[in-house]
Amino acid sequence: MNEPYLKTVRVYKVILSTKTEIKLDAEEIQSVFDAIQRGGLAKVKQGVINPSYIAAIIEDEERKLEFLRQAGDVERHNEQDTRYSGGKNQKQLKGLVPLGDIFEGYPLRAIGAPKKDGNV
């Protein structure tokens, strides 16, 4: 069904020492690795990660299983629609939905970083 798609798409989650889980899209994992190397914070769509609190980085199997459930629902709908309506109301599966950016619309800067005029 959609197994080849799931083998090419990677989604991750970072587990912190506080047991907090932060979900990552595939393109965000590199920023986490960069933060680990430089010892700084990583801003991702679902939060800010301090590398010193990372306990594990793993693939997010729960998101993949949710996608498979949705794919099964779409497939069943399309089979029934073809059987009873001649395929007039087919649904399309778009793939894994990217995570929302919780910081969108907020100008972020480090606390204590000087503003352009030199004041804090």
On whether residue 94 sits in a domain, the answer given is no
Residue 108 lies in a domain: no
* Average pLDDT of the residues in 44-69: 90
Q: Is residue 78 part of a domain?
A: yes
pTM of the model: 0.64
**Is 106 a member of any domain?**
no
Q: Could you tell me the residue range of the domain that residue 14 belongs to?
A: 3-85
CA distance 28 to 106: 19
pLDDT (tens digit, 9 = 90+) per residue, 15-51? 999 999 999 988 899 999 999 999 899 999 999 999 9
112 domain-assigned: no
Tell me what pLDDT residue 120 has. 47
Mean pLDDT of the chain: 80
Q: How many domains does the chain have?
A: 1
> Residue 97 falls within a domain, yes or no?
no
Structural domain contains residue 43? yes
For residue 14, being part of any structural domain is answered with: yes
Average pLDDT of span 97-112: 74
Strand order in the sheet with 21-24: 21-24, 12-16, 54-59
